[in-house]
Amino acid sequence: MKGCDLVNTFLPDELIMEIFRHVEAKSDRDACSLVCRKWRRLERACRRTIRIGASGTADQLVDLVVVRFTGLRNVFIDERLPVTTVQPQRSPPSKRKRHTLPKSNHSTEEIYVENELERFCLSDAGLALLAKSCKGLEKLSFIWCSSITSLGLTTVAENCKFLKSVDLQGCYVGDKGLIALGQNCKQLEDLNLRFCEGLTDTGLVGFAQSCGSSLKSLGIAACAWISDVSLQAVASHCKFLENLSLDSELMRNTGVISVAQGCRSLKALKLQCVNISDESLQAVGSYCYSLEQLALYSFQRFTDRSLYAIGNGCKKLRDLTLSDCYLLSDQSLEAIARGCTKLTNLEINGCHNIGTSGLEYIGRLCPGLVELSLLYCPRMDNSALREVGRGCSLLKALHLVDCSSINDDGISAIAQGCRSLRKLHIRRCYEVGDKGIISVGDNCKLLTDLSLRFCDRVGDEALVAIAQGCSLEHLNVSGCHLITDTGLTAIARGCPDLVNLDISVLQSIGDMALAELGHGCPLLKDIVLSHCRQITDVGLAHLVTGCSRLETCHMVYCPLVTGAGVATVVSSCANIKKVLVEKWKVSQRTLRRAYSVLSFLCVEL
């Protein structure tokens, strides 16, 4: 019947809210809330997650949020805000409050800026308002909320007893707040204490004693007063711990050995502790049979004996990262390959004593390998990639950085053997040229993400082959100076699904390529054109005509682009969020119209 609202009349509120919960896209949820007042009220009531950046007055913003969204379960607040981005609203001089201090060297303007910065920080008062209004919270994240103290955290603990995850990265909370969290939140499973400089062993020990039975994930980094004493308490009380991340110069073998012996359900272990040696990892290999992920960073005090222990004991290991572990050799990888045949992810970064033979064992004995990263591995050569190509047909992602001994033959071996490859990132591998990339285009039809940064032997022929064989979504050819309009035209015509493109530092790219991109890549969202010296305002006009979804555009050091070109990009792209350009190129009119999306170089030349 005309004028009868059947949906709102016959469907109960609970069912409408359940329908809203199944609408995933935020834009669609927002559209639903605009249909009528009832839908707006119901949509707000069923919204469970909100993310808040450092914008506006923090406490006032929280006040608005808790009034509007009454059913929140997950709140993420991130205050990582550079000082230079603070642009306080300037009121007339007669109304603006100024603060002056007698006998101070600080100018009035400096004090004003400090006060404006404080307004961006969530305080204990704002945190208390959030806690008292949203008692059903399950996840809380306060990234670099430096004004939060133990008082605010205690209020959260006393009001939000169903918390399961708390991230306090960069917060200066103390022991009392952490102990209160443990005493009140008995369901807490995930706790991140990275860069919490106000904590000591007293706080973490007290927390573990109160709440250890539920804790599954713990992260500690740069906490100068937390030592092995805390880890021993974790080992005693957190028997079901599954994920542990440690970054500390204070911790030694005692703490890690205690955790290995006490937390035998451990599945993921990340260590960046310079004072830990073989003894610790031997304990992990002896007790942590469920370990699936191991990441070792900047270790200089342990040897192949550690990886022997892991290979012998941790048969379920799937993900291994070795970064700057100078004493490890090919024997370590052989031990892993023989003992951990279920390995799916391997990253070797800056381990200069690991060479070809170690990776050959991985290729022969780990057929389930899905992702391989080799960074700064000068001793790795083509024969290692040949073995991976022969034995690891499921490989989907390959990352190569500064591997000077790998050339086209190695890349061709991967392409011919790993036809499921979806991501290929190569940077500064100067022996890789057209031949290897052509083989990728001929064999890897599922490839969607290709990065060839500063591979200066790659030219147009490679891009033509890629365009003919692969439907790319992400392409980065920054610094490949042999690429011209011809290669990029092929990409524009062959890859209509392209979303991200970086062609910076390409001296032979001109307006023709941009025109082809505008015509052939309507889904393009992000483009980097910096240091392209031949593109002009004309090319930009063609680009934005077809790429209406463009969100970011970087075009610094493009001498033929003028203020008119900048204005064209800003005015033609309704979704534009960021334009990086030299400040002197922006007219006052463009600055007024699009200040929020314009970004300038930090260094004025």
Let me know if residue 423 belongs to a domain. Answer: no
Same domain, 193 and 140: yes
Q: Are 323 and 296 in contact (CB under 8 A)?
A: yes
Tell me, what's the pLDDT at 59? 83
- In this prediction, residues 175-192 reach a mean pLDDT of 97
Let me know if residue 239 belongs to a domain. Answer: no
Structural element, H or E, at residue 17: helix 13-21
> Which spans in 93-192 are helix H?
108-119, 124-133, 150-159, 175-184
Same domain, 55 and 143: yes
Residue type, position 251, single letter: M
Range of the domain at 23: 7-47
> Does the structure show a pLDDT above 50 at 82?
no
Tell me, what's the pLDDT at 6? 75
Same domain, 116 and 219: yes
* d(C-alpha 92, C-alpha 112), whole Å: 14
* d(C-alpha 241, C-alpha 204), whole Å: 14
Nearest to 202 by CA among 238, 176, 222: 176
Mind spelling out the 3-state secondary structure of 326-391? CCCCHHHHHHHHHHCCCCCEEEEECCCCCCHHHHHHHHHHCCCCCEEEEECCCCCCHHHHHHHHHH
> Looking at residue 39, which CATH number applies to its domain?
1.20.1280.50
Let me know if residue 174 belongs to a domain. Answer: yes
* d(C-alpha 115, C-alpha 123), whole Å: 14
Nearest to 283 by CA among 302, 300, 306, 265: 306
* CA 137 to mean position of chain CA atoms: 24
> Does the structure show a pLDDT above 80 at 84?
no
Same domain, 182 and 220: yes
> Does the structure show a pLDDT above 70 at 280?
yes
Same domain, 150 and 205: yes
> Does the structure show a pLDDT above 80 at 495?
yes
Let me know if residue 354 belongs to a domain. Answer: no
* d(C-alpha 415, C-alpha 390), whole Å: 10
Lowest mean pLDDT among 78-92, 149-163, 359-373, 529-543: 78-92
Distances (CA, A) of 188 to 157, 163, 178, 202, 330: 11, 6, 12, 19, 41
Same domain, 62 and 168: yes
Q: Are 380 and 407 in contact (CB under 8 A)?
A: no
Tell me, what's the pLDDT at 107? 45
Same domain, 201 and 173: yes
* d(C-alpha 583, C-alpha 575), whole Å: 21
Tell me, what's the pLDDT at 90? 38
> Does the structure show a pLDDT above 80 at 320?
yes
Q: Are 509 and 488 in contact (CB under 8 A)?
A: yes
> Does the structure show a pLDDT above 90 at 238?
yes
Long-range contacts, 24-30 (Cβ 8 Å, 24+) = none
Let me know if residue 61 belongs to a domain. Answer: yes
Q: What is the band of 111 on the pLDDT scale with cuts at 50, 70, 90?
A: very low
Instruction: Find all residues with CB under 8 Å of 169, minimum gap 6, and list them.
Output: 141, 142, 143, 144, 192, 193, 194, 195, 196
What letters, b where the CB count within 10 A reaches 16 and e where it falls short, cover 497-516?
ebbbbbbbbbebbbbbbbbb
Let me know if residue 122 belongs to a domain. Answer: yes
Gyration radius (Cα) of the chain, Å: 28
Same domain, 15 and 75: no
> Looking at residue 163, which CATH number applies to its domain?
3.80.10.10
Pick the last residue of a domain from 226, 247, 265: 226
> Does the structure show a pLDDT above 60 at 137?
yes
Q: Are 140 and 164 in contact (CB under 8 A)?
A: no
Tell me, what's the pLDDT at 3? 53
Pick the last residue of a domain from 226, 254, 277: 226
**CA angle at residue 324 from 322 to 330, to 5 degrees?**
60
Q: What is the band of 98 on the pLDDT scale with cuts at 50, 70, 90?
A: very low
pLDDT tens digits along 550-567 = 999 999 999 999 999 999
pLDDT tens digits along 31-42 = 888 888 888 888
Give the percent of the chain with pLDDT over 90: 75
* d(C-alpha 480, C-alpha 502), whole Å: 11
Q: Using CB atoms within 10 A of its CB, is residue 602 exposed (0-12), middle (13-18) or buried (19+)?
A: exposed
Let me know if residue 475 belongs to a domain. Answer: no
Q: Are 253 and 282 in contact (CB under 8 A)?
A: no
> Does the structure show a pLDDT above 70 at 116?
no
Tell me, what's the pLDDT at 117? 44
Tell me, what's the pLDDT at 539? 97
Lowest mean pLDDT among 89-98, 145-154, 168-177, 373-382: 89-98
- In this prediction, residues 43-71 reach a mean pLDDT of 81
Distances (CA, A) of 430 to 217, 387, 529: 42, 22, 22
> Does the structure show a pLDDT above 60 at 97?
no
Structure tokens at 146: 């430096």
The total of structural domains in the chain comes to: 2
Tell me, what's the pLDDT at 10? 75
Measured from the Cβ of residue 329, the count of other Cβ atoms closer than 10 Å reads 19
Mean pLDDT of the chain: 90
Q: Are 223 and 247 in contact (CB under 8 A)?
A: no
Lowest mean pLDDT among 79-93, 131-145, 199-213, 224-238: 79-93
Q: Are 8 and 36 in contact (CB under 8 A)?
A: yes
Residue 167 pairs in a beta bridge with 141, 192
pLDDT tens digits along 438-464 = 999 999 999 999 999 999 999 999 999
- In this prediction, residues 207-218 reach a mean pLDDT of 95
Same domain, 117 and 19: no
First-residue to last-residue Cα distance in the chain: 69
Same domain, 40 and 122: no
Structural element, H or E, at residue 68: helix 58-68
Structure tokens at 12: 């109960």
Same domain, 13 and 123: no
- In this prediction, residues 362-383 reach a mean pLDDT of 97
Same domain, 116 and 33: no
Taking every pair of Cα atoms in the chain, the longest distance, rounded to a whole number of angstroms, is: 80
> Does the structure show a pLDDT above 90 at 68?
no
Let me know if residue 177 belongs to a domain. Answer: yes
**Phi, psi for 346 (deg, rounded to 5):** -140, 125
